[in-house]
Amino acid sequence: MSLYPNIAELLARARADLRMGVPLVLISGDRGVLALAAETLGPDRLADLLALGGESCIAITARRAETLKARPYDGDLARILLPDDVDLPWVRALADPADDLNSPMKGPLISQRGGPADLHRLAISLMKSARLLPAALLQPLPHPQQFAALNGLTLIDETRAAPFLTQRSPMHPVVNAHLPIEVSSQGRLHVFRPEDGGEEHYAIEIGRPDRAKPVLARLHSACFTGDLMGSLKCDCGPQLRAALAQMGAAGAGVLLYLNQEGRGIGLANKMRAYSLQDQGFDTVEANHRLGFEDDERDFRIGADILKSLGFLSVRLLTNNPAKITMMEKTGITVAARVPLHVGEGEHNRAYLATKRQKSGHLE
Ligand SMILES: Nc1nc2c(ncn2[C@@H]2O[C@H](COP(=O)(O)OP(=O)(O)OP(=O)(O)O)[C@@H](O)[C@H]2O)c(=O)[nH]1
Ligand SMILES: [Zn+2]
């Protein structure tokens, strides 16, 4: 019998460790590094890491490197060497663009070149899945397995972890119950849970849609500010209510509420993006300055949930062509697109225009 956690369980533990500022040990073959999230790094752990000696670096995405004018020799990421006088404010400033304009980085930033970057890539991917800023401190370790065991640290093997970070996790229905809502007394809420310990997602079924016909459907990504607070910066709240109202009026439909806040970067990072928007950057530029892609969502999750509910064809309420492409690629037929233009006002006009110009959103 072995009670040792499997790789999926170790990855869930690793995400929690990173959010708490606890280091991980990442290995690939006989190479290993100590990895810490720049965002949650404290002074004591930075001192411990530096005391280990060796060539430490901070891994950032090519997007963040572009803003910092650092060279991304590894394509999608850059490995920046820590300067001799490195301190916590330096690490924070590299990871977080909040003060980029006030205090530009004192350079030059020196990027490492040559040698494998696989563990750096794994570290960035873990930061993103922990909804932290995508920047990680890495320190080579001569005896990584021994070091992890001695210090009680989570050990992640890159070769075993990689498939779990690129493929989506299977989603399982947990429970469903009748939920009368304003637009329909015939509502039913279904809760889905991914196998990897990630966020749960929900489906609201209105009426009893015929599984043999295309169902009126919406994939709605969570927006705490718009859906719940009535934010005027986006159109999410009005879209959510309009989609439900249409389904109520039609007597049938399914709305997936995907917990991919901030286009998949999490609420804290979305608020960082809002703060950059206050400095004059648009929604796409703000994501890039933080080190993220325009959109970090995985819409395939939506297709999986639809299939699990027995739907294979939809009339999709959306203006976003990426949602349609992804549905079709994942085996859901989009029989029709139903445009959803509501809630445009003075505060979100520029945001909606950027989505049309840069993200391909349809009129
Ligand atoms: N990163 C980031 N996310 C944002 C910003 N404004 C809104 N969001 C998020 O964007 C997502 C919008 O989701 P949706 O309305 O489902 O998607 P969409 O791409 O606009 O497509 P449709 O509404 O279907 O046309 C939500 O997760 C919001 O939290 C922003 O300025 N930055
Ligand atoms: Zn929103």
Whether 120 lines ligand 1, by a CB cut-off of 6 Å, is no
CA dihedral 345, 347, 350, 353 (to 10 degrees): -30
Distance between CA 128 and CA 260 in Å, rounded? 12
Instruction: Kindly report, residue by residue over 255-265, the tens digit of the pLDDT.
Output: 999 999 999 99
Instruction: Kindly report, residue by residue over 279-291, the tens digit of the pLDDT.
Output: 999 999 999 999 9
The count of other CB atoms within 10 Å of the CB of residue 102 is 7
Nearest CA to ligand 1 atom 9: 262
- DSSP letters of 139-178? EE-SSHHHHHHHHT--EEEHHHHHHHHHSPPPEEEEEEEE
Distance between CA 213 and CA 39 in Å, rounded? 48
Ligand 2 centroid–CA 55 distance in Å is: 42
- Which residue from 128, 199, 225, 236 has its CB within 8 A of the most atoms of ligand 1, so it is best to mutate? 236
Whether 348 lines ligand 1, by a CB cut-off of 6 Å, is no
Distance between CA 129 and CA 135 in Å, rounded? 12
Long-range contacts of 332-338 (CB under 8 A, 24+ apart): 332/303, 332/306, 332/307, 333/214, 335/214, 336/214, 337/362, 338/216, 338/246
Nearest CA to ligand 1 atom 23: 318
Ligand 2 centroid–CA 291 distance in Å is: 20
Whether 287 lines ligand 1, by a CB cut-off of 6 Å, is yes
Instruction: Kindly report, residue by residue over 19-71, the tens digit of the pLDDT.
Output: 999 999 999 999 999 999 999 999 999 999 999 988 999 999 999 999 999 99
Nearest CA to ligand 1 atom 15: 236
Instruction: Kindly report, residue by residue over 100-113, the tens digit of the pLDDT.
Output: 888 777 678 999 99
CB contact set of 95 (below 8 Å; sequence gap of 6+): 38, 39, 58, 60, 64, 133, 135, 291
Whether 221 lines ligand 1, by a CB cut-off of 6 Å, is yes
pLDDT of residue 256: 98
